[in-house]
Amino acid sequence: MEELTNPIQLVFKKNSRDRARPVRLVTAACMFKLLDKFSEEKNSAAPIIYKALIFAIIESPEEQTVREMYLLNFTQLFSIHQSVPIKMLLEPLIKANQVQDTFFFCTFDYDFLTFVAKHPRLKVENSIQMLDLLARHYLNDVCNASAAAVPFMIICSRFCNEFTCQEFILKFITICLNQLLALDALDVPPPPKKSKSKSSKSL
């Protein structure tokens, strides 16, 4: 079996980095199908394909069409095979967003994070990473603030009894209040200058 899977994996890795987008999309679709089958069979090649797919989405985050295709397939994979460790994808995905300036979030990104926020295998340490990511988008992206608030509130509701979550929420509230106070300070008009009374001259 290894004699057959190893060459296939090499072809997949090569084609997933091809310059032509159709080649990458077709390759990714085939890899997801294999991963679905291997995950069902508990095949030892499943983690290798999973890691290759993670690397592929992290490598080119600025291509929104490709990223949407990946996230939709990951959502379907995690829905069917809940034993697949979601942490392996979540941590590098969040790190890539923090490092790369070209990683702009779209609606499908928030849909995926909303799905992850509800996933039973989401752990508290990864939930804090998600809260930090969503908080930054909420504060800095006015157009998508409402979309970022949805998974943010879901996570807060799930892990509100965890001390680390409570600590993060307090920090987030403090930052929001400081920003509001700073805005209020900018809106306050300066006090009127007192007019100096001119001394009356005698005629």
DSSP 156-187: HHHSTTSHHHHHHHHHHHHHHHHHHHHHHHHH
Residue 103 has pLDDT above 70, yes or no: no
pLDDT of residue 6: 63
Region 24-41: mean pLDDT is: 90
Average pLDDT over residues 78-97: 92
- Give the per-residue pLDDT at 135: 94
pLDDT band at 200 (very low <50, low <70, confident <90, very high): very low
How far is 174 from 118, CA to CA, in rounded Å? 26
- Its pTM stands at 0.81
pLDDT at 173 (0 to 100): 93
Half-sphere exposure of 160 (CA within 13 A, CB side): 6
pLDDT band at 180 (very low <50, low <70, confident <90, very high): confident
- Band the pLDDT of 45: cuts 50, 70, 90: confident
pLDDT exceeds cutoff 70 at 55: yes
Residue 201, SS3? coil
Confidence of residue 203 (pLDDT cuts 50, 70, 90): very low
Percent of the chain with pLDDT over 70: 82
Q: Flag the least confident range among 5-9, 12-16, 25-29, 40-44.
A: 5-9
pLDDT at 163 over 60: yes
Half-sphere exposure of 76 (CA within 13 A, CB side): 11
Nearest to 38 by CA among 25, 56, 23, 53: 53
Where do the H-state alpha helices sit in the chain?
2-15, 21-41, 46-59, 64-80, 87-99, 107-118, 124-140, 145-158, 163-187
pLDDT for 72 equals 95
CB 124 within 8 A of CB 160: no
Q: Which of 7-21, 72-86, 115-129 has the lowest mean pLDDT?
A: 7-21
Q: Which of 119-133, 169-183, 188-202: highest mean pLDDT?
A: 119-133
Other CB atoms within 10 Å distance of the CB of residue 187: 6
Residue 179 pLDDT: 84
Query: What mean pLDDT do residues 67-81 have?
Result: 95
Residue 25: Cβ-neighbour burial (10 angstroms; 0-12, 13-18, 19+): middle
